Amino acid sequence: MIRLYGFWRSAAAFRVRIALNLKGIAFAETMIDLDAGDQHLPDYISVNPQAVVPSLILEDGTTLTQSVAILEYLDETHPAPALLPSDAIGRARVRALALIWAADHHPLIPPRIRAYLRDTLGVDDDGRTAWVKHWFSEGLRIGEARLAHDPATGRFCHGDTPTIADLCLLSQVMGARGFKVDFGPYPTINRIVDACLEIDAFNHALPLKQPGAPAAH
């Protein structure tokens, strides 16, 4: 069976979990405790030398890394339901939206970044929280501006079926909620998130529903 290396709180693993669920692909998940630093243990480094989750181990033993590359692989090998539009312009729009969150904003907030702010730059708790909330809010502000008045936006980020843009949006939104970011200014995003969470594949993949998550948040 396919094995996902993830962590309950990991935004990048969350994206992959949603895609596996949407496509009905059976998988087992091994949780790498990022709070305990288990991503740096030799056993995991031998899986993913970058010391991050997710990693996806295919049935033939091939290891895939980088969540967006994994999403594209899953979409190519399991085409239904499609997570990318059938037209090139649509695919470019969806990838551009996905990369706002997965490439421009998520990389500013993971544990290794916060550890560097604390240990090397001496940024205190309040400063690190302000940093994280700022970059979450920026990703949401830019996403809202891109989505709100674009006729290509539908029930979801692109049209009326979920795409990889929605997976990347949801992963940022759940992290931002954890940091109590104000969602008032983002009505289009709130509407899309509600639509996603009506789908079991999204719901069952939620960070707080994974083993190891705190019972109440």
Ligand X SMILES: N[C@@H](CCC(=O)N[C@@H](CS)C(=O)NCC(=O)O)C(=O)O
Among 10, 137, 153, 172, binds ligand X (CB under 6 A): 10
Calpha distance 45→50 (Å, rounded):
7
Footprint of ligand X on 76-135 (CB under 6 A):
102, 110-112
Footprint of ligand X on 139-198 (CB under 6 A):
none
Calpha distance 5→3 (Å, rounded):
7
CB nearer to ligand X: pick between 4 and 140: 4
Check binding of 210 to ligand X (CB under 6 A). no
CB nearer to ligand X: pick between 95 and 153: 95
Q: Which stretch binds ligand X (CB under 6 A): 47-55, 72-80, 157-165, 192-200?
A: 47-55
Amino acid at 162: P
- Residue 143's closest CA among 115, 174, 110, 168? 168
User: Side-chain half-sphere of 20: how many Cα atoms within 13 Å?
Assistant: 26
Calpha distance 39→136 (Å, rounded):
23
For residue 189, the minimal CB distance to ligand X (Å) is: 19
Among 34, 97, 140, 165, binds ligand X (CB under 6 A): 34
- Residue 163's closest CA among 71, 76, 88? 71
Check binding of 53 to ligand X (CB under 6 A). yes
Summarize as ranges the residues that interact with ligand X (CB under 6 A): 10-12, 34, 39, 52-54, 66-68, 102, 110-112
